[in-house]
Amino acid sequence: MLTDVVNGNFTEFPSIAPFARQNRPPDENLKSINSENFREVIEIIFDRFFIENRTNFTDFFTEILRNIGRYSISFNINAFEFNNRKSEFKDISVLSLGQKVVAMLTVIFNHGDYSHETKPIIIDQPEDNLDNRYIYTNLVNQLKNLKEKRQVIIATHSSTIVTNSLVENVIVMESDGKNGWIKKSGYTLNLSIKKDIIHILEGGSLSFEHRKNIYNDTLSEGSK
């Protein structure tokens, strides 16, 4: 029926014929759908299509639920690989935790492109079960692209995300085990914020210096 309505075929649905938008001869006495009669049109469609076909809808969804085990979701596990591997789709039920996170984040990040959703998106620790190379090469870029379309709020323990995602505002939280509160907030390059990033996300200045000393000779060679 909905296809018929869109295509202007109202011969079998006289109850909504008066509201047709299609250009017809004046003697058919058709009306245009507008903000004043739109609700009435929807009610007519609902009554005629959904209510009268309720049994068919019930049978349809009952059949789907009865055979739910036959349906699955597959994900291309090589979608974000660095070596141009060919596509390999696997059922989401057999993916590793990291692959499931990638699949889930891919759906979340791309959902707005199809739904035209522009509301803020809040994600808790998107880095879980992901290696740092993937976080830097893929996740960071995805977040930078996403924040051009909608506000992104992330709770994270990853210094890679905080320092590479072009974050406009870093909020440092404190907690006493029962309650949490904002300790400070500011831009990533703010000296006080950088100290907290090192202290909280890098394990402290000694830990940061220790890692730096270990990698120093490799970094000086320009290796990746």
pLDDT tens track for 87-117:
888 888 889 999 999 999 998 998 888 888 8
Residue 190 inside a domain? The answer is no
The total domain count for the chain is 1
CB 98 within 8 Å of CB 81: no
Residue 76 inside a domain? The answer is no
Residue 90 inside a domain? The answer is no
For residue 11, pLDDT over 60 is answered with no
Closest CA to 148 of 136, 169, 166: 166
What range does the domain containing 63 cover?
A: 35-71
Helix (H, G, I), strand (E, B) or coil at 86: coil
pLDDT for the residue numbered 130 = 94
For residue 26, pLDDT over 70 is answered with no
For residue 4, pLDDT over 50 is answered with no
What's the burial of 177, exposed, middle or buried (CB within 10 Å: 0-12/13-18/19+)?
Answer: exposed
DSSP secondary structure string for all residues of 52-66: TTHHHHHHHHHHHHH
- Spatial separation of the C-alpha atoms in residues 96 and 117, rounded to whole Å: 29
Residue 41 inside a domain? The answer is yes
Highest mean predicted confidence (pLDDT) among 8-17, 70-79, 191-200: 191-200
For residue 23, pLDDT over 70 is answered with no
pLDDT for the residue numbered 188 = 93
Residue 176 inside a domain? The answer is no
